[in-house]
């Protein structure tokens, strides 16, 4: 595709060229239906196949065991911050581990719907530059669940080893790392994610939930977020976000065509290593996250001088890169290098960083 910029946005973010081209190819008349997917009834046969393909592909790509349901729900990941306590709270007691802004938002939302939501660990005093270790956690064996944010989009950190929670279900927000590498779904009670980074354009959240956690919602749980009801209705209790589910299906087909999550993991490791190795090899830029906690998807760095950071961001736009400005909570720069970012994009970024550093000398 011509005139594409290297888009390092944290989300909504870059989609694979192949997906955009396929969507364009079928935009006006989807498979002989005489209409676009945007115009189609969600109750039509053609659409039914689209959504079922999306579910089937996701189950296959992530090797999701049969005792987990997959749901596509509206409200984004933020909606799920509420939907989770509304669906799976049994005793009103939960543990939240605070590793950044979204983990904290999830915690604050849960407190509205459960009587005893505790902070079982936090790295806030270190500006969320790392993930806590197991011995820093104070987990309550009587909790209904333990919540983590597996990849911290703003701070550029990720859990590389999951916390040991014993028989307490682990609930994880994978918004900014889902589909970036294989995960063992059976280790989780719930995996959820806003789709607008690695899966689809914005429009819904995916929830992968173990069967035994379904079916006991709090009476005030809105019907559209009732996991059991939505599972029964194939996530079509009301009108689903038809277009983004369609693009999600195409993204999953792209993933299968290139060799699945094993292949993506290799590619993502290679891209992240290129950037982190450069950051570690010089002193003009400083990586923000501690080595052992670094995210493969969101790479945060700074020069140490706010004015120079601004200059960097402005020059990067001139050079054909977008969205490298860090989140306002962290400052500096952030390169989000999701699945669809090609290796060449990261190479071009590192070349640009070298050139910029030389010019300031």
Q: Is 282 annotated as ligand-binding?
A: no
Q: Among 47, 72, 96, 102, which residue sits at the site for ligand PMP (rule: CB under 6 A)?
A: 102
Q: Among 149, 214, 297, 337, which residue sits at the site for ligand PMP (rule: CB under 6 A)?
A: 149
Closer residue to ligand PMP in complex, CB, 40/84: 84
Q: Is 284 annotated as ligand-binding?
A: no
Q: Is 74 annotated as ligand-binding?
A: no
Q: Least CB distance from residue 295 to ligand PMP, whole Å?
A: 10
x/- mask, ligand PMP, residues 227-246, rule CB under 6 A, reads --------------------
Residue that is written with structure tokens 């990586």 in the block: 287
Pairing of strands 157-158, 151-152: antiparallel
Write out the two tokens for 7. Answer: 């888009």
Choose the stretch contacting ligand PMP; rule: CB under 6 A; options: 58-66, 72-80, 109-117, 313-321: 72-80
Q: Among 87, 99, 153, 288, which residue sits at the site for ligand PMP (rule: CB under 6 A)?
A: 153
Write out the two tokens for 44. Answer: 């039509």
Which residue pairs from 6-9 have beta carbons closer than 8 angstroms and sit at least 24 positions apart in sequence? 6/320, 6/321, 6/322, 6/341, 6/345, 6/348, 6/349, 7/322, 7/323, 7/341, 8/321, 8/322, 8/323, 8/324, 8/334, 8/335, 8/336, 8/337, 8/341, 8/345, 8/349, 9/322, 9/323, 9/336
Q: Least CB distance from residue 87 to ligand PMP, whole Å?
A: 17
Determine the 3-state secondary structure of 18 from DSSP: helix
Q: Is residue 211 within 8 Å of 94, Cβ to Cβ?
A: no
Q: Is 305 annotated as ligand-binding?
A: no
Q: Is residue 99 within 8 Å of 125, Cβ to Cβ?
A: no
Write out the two tokens for 16. Answer: 């694979």
Q: Applying CB under 6 A, does 252 fall inside the site for ligand PMP? A: no
Distance between terminal CA atoms of the chain? 36
x/- mask, ligand PMP, residues 169-198, rule CB under 6 A, reads ----x-xx-----------------x----
Q: Least CB distance from residue 78 to ligand PMP, whole Å?
A: 3
Closer residue to ligand PMP in complex, CB, 11/217: 11
Chain residues binding ligand PMP by CB under 6 A are 11, 76-78, 102, 149, 153, 173, 175-176, 194
């Amino acid at each position: 595709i011509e005139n594409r910029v290297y888009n390092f946005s944290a989300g909504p973010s870059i989609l694979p060229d192949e997906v955009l081209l396929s969507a364009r190819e079928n935009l006006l008349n989807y498979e002989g239906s005489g209409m676009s997917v945007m115009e189609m009834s969600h109750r039509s046969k053609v659409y039914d196949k689209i959504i079922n393909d999306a579910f089937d592909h996701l189950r296959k790509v992530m090797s999701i065991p049969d005792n987990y349901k997959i749901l596509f729900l509206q409200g984004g990941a933020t909606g799920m911050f509420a939907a989770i306590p509304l669906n799976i709270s049994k005793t009103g007691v939960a543990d939240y581990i605070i590793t950044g802004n979204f983990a904290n938002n999830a915690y604050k939302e849960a407190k509205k719907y459960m009587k005893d939501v505790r902070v079982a660990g936090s790295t806030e005093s270190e500006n969320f530059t790392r993930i806590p270790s197991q011995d820093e956690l104070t987990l309550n064996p009587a909790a209904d669940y333990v919540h983590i944010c597996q990849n911290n989009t703003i701070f550029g950190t990720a859990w590389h080893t999951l916390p040991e929670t014993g028989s307490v279900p682990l609930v994880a927000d994978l918004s900014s790392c889902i589909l970036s590498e294989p995960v063992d779904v059976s280790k989780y009670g719930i995996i959820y994610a806003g789709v607008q980074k690695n899966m689809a354009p914005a429009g819904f959240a995916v929830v992968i939930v173990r069967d035994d956690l379904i079916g006991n919602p709090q009476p005030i749980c809105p019907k559209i977020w009732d996991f059991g009801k939505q599972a029964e209705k194939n996530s079509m209790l009301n009108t689903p976000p038809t277009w983004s589910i369609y693009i999600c299906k195409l993204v999953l087909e792209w993933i299968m065509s290139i060799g699945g999550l094993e292949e993506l993991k290799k590619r993502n490791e290679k891209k992240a290593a290129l950037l982190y190795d450069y950051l570690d090899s010089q002193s003009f830029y400083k990586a923000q996250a501690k080595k052992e906690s670094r995210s493969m998807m969101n790479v945060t760095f700074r020069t140490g001088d706010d004015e120079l950071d601004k200059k960097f961001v402005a020059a990067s736009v001139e050079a054909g890169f977008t969205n490298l400005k860090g989140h306002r909570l962290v400052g500096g720069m952030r390169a989000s290098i999701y699945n669809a970012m090609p290796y060449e994009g990261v190479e071009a970024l590192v070349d640009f960083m070298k050139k910029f550093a030389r010019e300031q000398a």
